[in-house]
Structure 1
Amino acid sequence: AHPDSTYCPVGRPARPERLYILDEDLRRVPEGEPGEVCVGGEMLARGFVNLPEKTAERFVPDPFAGESGARMYRTGDRGRILPDGHLEILGRADFRVRIRGYNVELGAVEAAIEENVAVRACVVVSEGDEGEDKRLVAYVVPEPKDDHRFSGWSLDPKTGRSKEIRGVLRKVLPHYAVPAVYVALDALPIQATSGKVDRKELPPPPPRQARTDRDLLTTAPAAGAPRSEKENLLKGIWEEALRLDEGEVEAGDDFFDLGGHSLAAAQLSARVEESFGVHIPMPLFMEDPTVAGLCDRIEALQRDEDGDAARPSEIDLRAEAVLEPEISPRGGAETRTLPGAENVFLTGATGFLGASLLDGILSSTEARVHCLVRERDDENPLKTIASNLEFYGLSTDRMDRVVPVVGDLGEPLLGMGGERFDALARDTDFVIHAAAAVNLVYPYPALEAPNVGGTREALRLACRHKTKPFHFVSTDGVFPPNAGLCEEGADLDSLADAREDGYGQSKWVAEKLVREAAWRGLPTRVYRPGFISGHSETGASNPRDLQGAILSESLRLGAVPEVEGWKIEMTPVDFVAAAILGIASNPDAPGGTYHLANPDPVPAGTVFGWLEDGGYTLERLPYEEWLRRLEAAPPEDVQGPGAVLRGASPDAGDLSDGNIYDDRNTRLALGESGPRRPDVSGDLLLTYARHFAVRGWAPEPSALQEAGRRRRD
């Protein structure tokens, strides 16, 4: 063992003058401090074969070589030089995870722990699937010797929580980067060949704790009650909703930094209304989602007589829809249609529709497809894309033409940095922007970065260096409910104030940006899908889809909601993707906007009747009673579609918008030889039901169960 090492040193560098330990801004760190290991020299490789984006990211100019054109390689490893000149590798510097919508560099969290807490070594990982309940876990090796760092800490072996460590780290890290759970080890597991931490050999953290309701007040404190009494009650409600320990929430804490998400926020709203007797609209809560801010809102509503306190701040969407002058095309597009493209940039490939778009591009063209993908722990981004295809039953045979582009929809330059963004803009000749943050609860400010900012940056890429056709997936949600016939050529400006939900508002602004770019000369087309249902042949469905959740949960409960006038609009995902790609392949497609929603939605009673014909027994219940039945029998699969309805069920009026979407442009563009919209029928619904059953989301219909028994007999 090396006396100065907490990990395994790998030896002395052959050319120490060309090995650099650098910080995030590629500046040398103080001697002995950790940083990213970068290597220069004449023997450096030229780059990665057929991976220009990765080459531009990893092979960068060497500012320390003292010669023009010198390059260095960013290894992504975090290390330091020991006093005797040995190089010690501490782990990965580029491990980035997404926690509650925030990017977290695991190496930065590890560095903060090692600098401020008395540990000999530590490693931080994320636990849980992508989504609301993902958490950081820190594995620490305690330092028995006293030094300048904080040592008066302890761990709860049952929960893995340490109030003392969290208190120290909250002074140096943002809330979302403070690990929720800590595990003490005698030593970290080390890979014998590389000397790096073997993360696969780390023991599992303590299980998540099932919470029980606290004995909180259930009646509203008097309006004149002390502020501290109200805030203490709110802290308890937050800790209950977020599964935190008593005393972990402070008045200035942000709900979403502490782990809150849209479903938990809906639960919080109901609990606040129960305890204080006032309703806080979600947009109003989101303006200041802290305990103190929520308490301000409650007190204002308790004093309010005119109802003004319940109105959120108004946003001027027209002022939001401003496109920078430099986002303008440079001449005409060299490639007009999808079949002529050699390099396509696709966003949303790790989503539901995006998976079918990627599959369609790979199967119908010879193009390389550059897919924007968020980095997830230490998972290979190509594997992330492939796993999504496999989840939806799509082929992974052509992954050699898929180029993962690590980035972030909500960040400037899509999170790529200038050099990688420029390289991608030079290489690609066609853009399909299908990614968005879909959330019917969040207000506009919470969705502006991914939905508006992401569209702005995608337009920037389409215009930079050379002009690229831009195909944008919007939504029929830019129209108000109960508008009647909604035409593809409707004046977008007249719809500026049509929506109150943040998602519809953000997509309206994004469409305006696309229209502005089109006015400047960028070739653009806009697609407006509605409810995208499962694949018409395989039934593969989006587990986060609201309508699919209601169908699968109705089958699981053996009961369906009755809502007067409810018509179910659904369009299978394979048709939506094929229509987009078909129109993108037609140079003479009329119009510039295309509706993909089903223009002839089916009455809900007919849909449920088809399922009954297939062997299901379904009790009809008033909607509110159906919701109570759902609440009394929650689904076991927390990752299934039932989770969409947990604590945030839509109002009955939100199940359909009462509109009819004219699709004349779509039909003309696809022509007689183009893809045909599948009929919504009993066969289609049973295809979905079979998929729900295979996934374990709902039981098989009795007809299928009987057929299975006959096969077994």
Structure 2
Amino acid sequence: MVCYTMMERVLAQHAQEHPDAMAVLDGHQALTYGQLLARATCLADRLQLKEKVEAEEPVGILLSPGLSQVVAQVAVRLVGATCVPLEPKQPPKRICELLRDVAVRRVIVEDLCTERYEGFDLHPMEHLEPALFRHDNHLITQKDCPQKEDGRSHILFTSGSTGKPKPVQIQTSSILHLAMENNMTPLSHTDRVTAFNNPGFDLSLFEIWATLIARATIVVLPKGVATDASRLLAFLTETRASVMIIPTALFNVIASTAPNAFRALRHVITAGEAANPRALRSVLEKEPPENLWNGYGPTEGTTLTTLYRVTLPDCLEDRISIGQPIGKAIVYLLDDNLEPIEESGIHGEICIGGPGKSAGYLHRRRENEERFVQILNPHRYTKGTGITDSTTDSGSSIVELYRTGDIGQWRRDKPGFLDYIGRRDTQVKHQGFLVELEEISRIMESSPLVESCVVIQRPPLSVLHSSILIAYIIPSGGNKQGQHAILRFAQATLPSYMIPERFELVTTFPLTANGKVDRQALLDSYAQGPRKGEAGRKQRVVNDTSTSPNDTDTRSVLAKIWEELLQVSHPTPEQDSFLLGASSIQAAALIALIQHRLERLITMDELHAHARFSSMCDLLDTGQAPGEDRYKNAPDHTSIWANDVDIVDDIPLAPDWESAAEGRAFLTGATGFVGAHILRRLIERSGVKQVACLARARDGQSAAARVRKAMEKYDLFPEPLELSQKILVLEGDIGDEKLGLGPTQFNWLVDWASVIFHVAAKVNFCESYQEHHRANVIGTRNVLNAAALGRRKAFHYMSSIDVFGPSGMILGTRSIPEDSPLINHLPALRYDLGYGQSQWTAEAMVRRMQGKGLPIAIYRPGFIIGDSVTGASNPDDFITRWIVGCMEMGSFPRIVDMRFEYCTIDFVCSSVLQIASENKNLGQAYHILSPDRTKSLTVEDTITLLHEVGYPVRMIDYSDWVKQAVKSGTSEGALAPLMPVLQERVLGELTRWECAQFSPVYECTNTVRALAGCPEAQYKPFTIDVLRRSMAFWKRKGFYDV
């Protein structure tokens, strides 16, 4: 007795409960579910008239897409056998070889054709008696239907790249997974699904079985209508079709001529080849279907392994994602050692597993061992990375996978989503480089000149020839410029070794029976061209104007040379030798043959300058005596060489981070005084869409709460929702290599950010270098790492003039240019604070990465004070505590020739963002302070300022001032945190602070140049008004009452 799987039981249930529901529509013919099961049962009975069909026995089905195909497949499943559908229009000899390869005995055919298929037990559909189709007598009842968990359902042949077709075994559980557990299924019983694909092609499994299992309706789409864009829309509308799975190559053709053809559909799935963004965009822009999907999956994965719902913004990219695994599918990206790849942007082989994976190739032990592998499944790989295995619980589990031979990579902008790169078997060696042919096609299709592109490699024809790349191109409708414009695009976008040697403009591509581009047919047609003349190469864009019999000897000889080397018979005047694929070897051979046969000596420069046939003939006809030395001196092209250096000037070092396509800033230090102000300025800029702020959760406060609290502390938090919505807080840790974000979020961030502003720094006046090391040194290293990984982006680094240490006092330095080498100032660092020492190391790392090519700008402000307008200032920084402490004590210490280099926070922020707004400013350092030294206040100037606001402080010797501070009991005052460093002696009797005497001049040539013509970013001096506003701010906020 046959043991039925869930697949047959579901059909039986449909026929019992909904016998009149429509199952198949095929033109004027139709079958309800009751009629379908009755007719299939009748055919099943006929299959077993002579002898019983063995379980999972392969049964051939030689029928076109249509009603009979559906009946035949259901009948084969009812007897517990395996469907082996084949395209009946193939040569009979090939069909017989395939059938014998899998030991088929019984074959279902349309009509009796014994002479073509001798040796097989044929069962013609035409012999089924309609009178027998009384479905009420043939229903499978529950008691007749023992349960079977799984079994082989289909064998489909796939050719791959090895030549002999391989029989892929498909399980019933795989079809059930396809029909019930992908993003679109189960389908609705009201859906109508088109069926037109070759039954031997795996897309037909979805058309037939996903439809039947859902109790939906199969609508047979005539092949002539499916490939005729002008008729397709009307058919889909009239039949009320709602779901269509279509080969990518056919979809591209329809999209280019009738992009609105799919408008009435609920789901359109393209599959079979890499998606074309332009074709998808055409459909989405003009009355699109409700859902447009890009599907991926080899036959060995049962039609679909991953799916991606395509939106219009996706089509602006040069590659469409193939999405994430469907249902319980497993997708791994493995390297050459079969180790999983987690990182985004790294190429690996796509390997698949789970319910959709084939049981293997029938009778192909060697291929099974090569393609179906087992690997240890590390427990850490989870669905979050797109790597899933719901069946394993331990890190040492074995996972069975199929090696697809497809190359993919995890996307950076969408963690867990996969990109298809190309086939291993379309990787070829060309000019010494490993070249991915599908990558060339993808780049060419990004041109508005190109609708579709297929690239093949023609092997060398002789020792005078090398292999060449041939690009077959369907030009876009708006391309009026032809071959030369396409060549210019290729030269501008592709590396030289990836530029096809020949471009063939065609109107269509030949397709295989499964709807895929037939690359072999393209290669065969090209190979026949030179031997059969231009008339045999109808797809080539070559004028059919041959040379005249009365041409000169020069033209005839040159034409013969071209035919030998370039395989072009009867070259036209405008044909270009290099456009026709002349390699450097052939160019040398061309010069040699011209010299040998025409006794003319031409140079390689002349060959390139006269590459067209007519131009070369003209050059040779000008005459030259044999052996004449045309060049007494080498030509002087020095001006050309020198001027050509300028062509690099328009290469962007980093994206314009405020452009319409960008606007995403990554900011560190948002919980600090400077970082909070930079954040507020960033979100106010119209070109900024979002600012991601890295912050830690601390003291029971979340990272987001700490960022908000810092902004509120300085009255910076925005009330308008459109501004606050721009703030995205990432809870992390700058001391962690992945910034405390984990691999997935870190990989997203480095590809998401348009620009990085690294403002975070620990500042503690009493702690050593070691205490600052993790935050300032390791932290900067980690943010630099984020800048270097992922997409290219600028790195704007907030440093400090403290990196130079007390150079004036210790080294006698009088002036420091902005790009001065840091190493010169290293000896002075030992006398500075741990903060300054850590900043020296951090900036040295930044400069090293700058030297390695990272686009970087460095900003070194002086002592940052409050906002010149609002007075908002940091109550905890050194300079505020110093000034308030002196006010409280009534005295100020004497320090010889010391300038504080005060700069207001609004000046710092406006200067940094103005400089950062133009990428031409990258690659330099900027001193953010007064460009006019007379406005840089000394100790004496500061005392005068305090006098003017009502604090008549007096200047006393430093040692006396320290004694007064200690005596006055400052443990609770503003100076309390500073006292250890103010008293610590580091150079004889001198303290660290006294070593800051004899301040050098901090040159700011770069800053003045970058801010020229920007009045909003001009220096604002520390005046009595600024100090009064700061004092009012301190009092209002309860910081200090002075």
Structure-2-length-normalised TM-score:
0.35
Query: Which has the larger Rg?
Result: 2
**TM-score (norm: length of structure 1):** 0.50
Larger RCO (CA under 8 A, 6+ residues apart): 1
